[in-house]
Structure 1
């Protein structure tokens, strides 16, 4: 089956559909097994269907699917405290994507410069050939 014309072209898609994954492998509709060397685009590389992760996801989904950052999230606070304790950061900012994290880093850098009297310091270094995300600011940082 060909890739649906109803989906906007954003990547050079490969005409393979996966039905399931196990560990580091993905399995296609025609039964072929592929080593998942990419783990999707911009996602965490946890592998596929690890029993402990599946169990934790089911347990959480049975309690609470999502709540806004407008409210306290005790589990988030625990993770934040661990990150602060094991890094040079005093606080953390949780993001929903790499693009949001990268754009957030730009905003923090700009705010830091402004707060330190360098209001005209606006240049941001970007890696050539890297993918920084699909937000408007990060598209401007991409060279492709």
Structure 2
């Protein structure tokens, strides 16, 4: 498999959650067959760090994070070749939260809402249903379990 990567670092002004105190978040954009995915591990949630992920990818191995990034690149590439937007007709969710990918979207969203969305609070007037509607519509489009 041939791919290109572009490293990046995201910076936060403060801790994003109670589990992590770091403020620099390293990842890479990966381009495969004309599509782009994001390889962004979260060691706080059990992912090996980015260097280990890249070593694994280079050596032909895989991980959940690598599989998701490659899947996103494949879906993105197919959409670009077809000239369609994966986000057409979707509303940007009014809230977001870091969560465990192994839980169904509805369970994650409900748990996040009950906790008040962690440090990322929903906008005023946002209902639980409206918050989750954006998240539950996206995974099927990306070939992910809802």
TM-score by shorter chain over 0.5:
no
Structure with max Cα Rg: 1
* Higher percent of residues as strand: 2
Taking structure 2 as the reference length, the TM-score comes to: 0.29
Q: Greater relative contact order: 1 or 2 (C-alpha under 8 angstroms, separation 6 or more)?
A: 2
